[in-house]
Amino acid sequence: MSRTIRTFEATIANQRQVRDDLNQLGWAASKLWNVGRYYAQEQWDETGKIPDDGDFKAELKSHERYTDLHSQSSQRVLEELAEAFNGWFGKRQNGNDRARPPGYRKNGDSHPRSTVSFKAAGFKHDAQFTRVRLSKGRNLKEHRSDFILCEYQTRPDVDLAEWDIQQVRAVYKRDEWRLQFVCRTVIDPEPPGEEVAGVDLGICNFAAVSFGGESVLYPGSALKEDEYYFTKKKAKCDDSSSREATRLDRKRTGRRTHFLHALSKALVEECVQRGVGTLVVGDLGGIREDDERSELRNWGDHGNLDLHGWAFDRFTTLLDYKAEAGGIDVELVSERNTSKSCSACGHADDNQRVERGLYVCEECDTVANADVNGAENIRQKVLPSLATDGVDETQSVSSAHQNAPRSGDGDRDNGWLAQPAVHLFDRSEGCFAPRELVANREP
């Protein structure tokens, strides 16, 4: 059994009735942040040290801004402030002189609406009537039992009654208040099988998946089109912080998030159908750095733009928790040499990737899609033949390649390595589907 935590976002159905009260709390959270920010500056100037969250709470618990919110909500504001200062101070200690400390929360002469968090004692959930009661601070109550009663609506597939709600957050976004429910549950899913699949993440094909006999490509063209489109639209804005630029950023983020959710869901569903119990993903943690010089790689103008828009960590996080719910283990492994080595015989040569998307092995004449070849090499890193104590890595890799599936002896161009299935993102349906189905839906 394992515990899993999810955050579900909900719209507020009675927005008009609760908006003013939530505004008061949001402004109060910003004011408390600013009081804490001022105190931190004083301490920094006097002692050269930053107070921790315990210092903040001890110093400010009697401040009138602290009692504008429920005590646990005020504590969370100060915890976030301490976390922000620790992050800045850590960068400063690592030699980043350009890092700036957290600022005051100001929007001209007014305060923005900050996120307000409610821990267990600060909210009461009514699953039957899909509503949640949020506590006010003593200063904002008109009478002792004063509270905010929010009616909410989640996605149709989300039932909060099945979850243990740990925290509720009121978040102001897109000119309205929304609720985020941070939930926990215990899951114990049965693994769908014992098969192993490998995933290679890339620019043109966002994900290439090898199942060791079949392969599937998930192109990232829809994501790239969005990135280029919104970059050009935003460049036409007079001010990068204008309302139109902000709207474009939000829309781009929303579409990117949906793409990553749809892709991770499709990949996990494919694995479940094929009885995959272990999903091996190439670790892209060092893709932005040169292996030898530890400097940022130059991938060309288009490549750098693509990499900037990628969300490697975000995708692997989504994939990890969706796979966990399906009983699939996710392992991150190094991608070192997976693009250079032949997945059929193990021969490595920098020149075998003859052109973009094509891999030809001079040793065994295997012809493969380059991304599928990389995915198969990633898959082989955790095959049972590798789990041999006392054998060095070179011997283990050789053993894995000897036991790996090979393309046919005749025309190798027709093998599964060379001709993977392709699943495209269907914009009309908002999901991935086989290429032929997506093509048939297009007008």
DSSP string, 113-167: ---EEE-GGGEEEETTTTEEEEEPPGGG-SSTT-EEEEEEE--TT--GGGSEEEE
In a domain, 399, yes or no: no
Which pLDDT tens digit goes with each residue over 51-82?
999 999 999 999 999 999 999 999 999 999 99
User: Could you tell me which of 127, 176, 139, 129 has the C-alpha nearest to residue 32?
Assistant: 139
Which among 187, 218, 238 is the end of a domain? 187
The pLDDT score that the predictor gives to residue 437 is 86
- In a shared domain, residues 259 and 115: no
The total number of structural domains in the chain stands at: 2
Which pLDDT tens digit goes with each residue over 252-262?
888 888 899 99
- In a shared domain, residues 204 and 341: yes
In a domain, 224, yes or no: yes
Which pLDDT tens digit goes with each residue over 126-158?
999 999 999 999 999 988 789 999 999 998 878
User: Alpha carbon 321 to chain centroid distance?
Assistant: 10
* pLDDT above 60: residue 397: no
User: Could you tell me which of 285, 237, 253, 278 has the C-alpha nearest to residue 386?
Assistant: 278
- In a shared domain, residues 70 and 126: yes
- In a shared domain, residues 116 and 250: no
Which among 187, 219, 249 is the end of a domain? 187
- In a shared domain, residues 267 and 211: yes
Which pLDDT tens digit goes with each residue over 312-340?
778 888 898 889 888 999 999 988 888 88
Quick one: how many helices (H) and strands (E) in the chain? 10, 16
Q: How far apart are CA 216 and CA 354, in angstroms?
A: 21
* pLDDT above 60: residue 297: no
Look up residue 171 and give its two tokens: 């978040």
CB atoms within 10 A of CB 147: 15
CB 228 within 8 A of CB 305: yes
- In a shared domain, residues 9 and 107: yes
- In a shared domain, residues 140 and 204: no
The pLDDT score that the predictor gives to residue 300 is 52
Q: How far apart are CA 356 and CA 204, in angstroms?
A: 10
The mean per-residue pLDDT over the stretch 204-208 comes to 92
* All residues at 6 or more sequence positions from 335 whose CB lies less than 8 Å from its CB, including other chains: 200, 282, 283, 284, 287, 374, 378
- In a shared domain, residues 319 and 257: yes
* pLDDT above 60: residue 246: yes
- In a shared domain, residues 89 and 46: yes
CB 172 within 8 A of CB 26: yes
In a domain, 77, yes or no: yes
Q: How far apart are CA 187 and CA 4, in angstroms?
A: 7
The pLDDT score that the predictor gives to residue 152 is 97
* DSSP 8-state code for residue 341: B
- In a shared domain, residues 148 and 280: no
Which pLDDT tens digit goes with each residue over 160-204?
998 999 999 999 987 899 999 999 887 778 889 999 999 999 888
| Residue with the two structure tokens 């499709």 | 266
In a domain, 127, yes or no: yes
- In a shared domain, residues 249 and 341: yes
Average pLDDT, the chain: 84
Which among 128, 155, 187 is the end of a domain? 187
- In a shared domain, residues 245 and 352: yes
CB 185 within 8 A of CB 266: no
In a domain, 443, yes or no: no
Between 72 and 364, the more confident residue is: 72
Residue 11 structural domain: 2-187
As a whole number of Å, the CA-based R_g of the chain is 26
CB 361 within 8 A of CB 415: no
Q: What is the CATH number of the domain that holds 243?
A: 3.30.420
In a domain, 390, yes or no: no
Between 75 and 244, the more confident residue is: 75
In a domain, 403, yes or no: no
The mean per-residue pLDDT over the stretch 371-383 comes to 92
The pLDDT score that the predictor gives to residue 43 is 92
- 82 vs 40, 54, 76, 118, 346, CA distance in Å? 9, 9, 10, 18, 51
pLDDT over 70, % of the chain: 83
In a domain, 320, yes or no: yes
User: Could you tell me which of 56, 52, 34, 60 has the C-alpha nearest to residue 89?
Assistant: 52
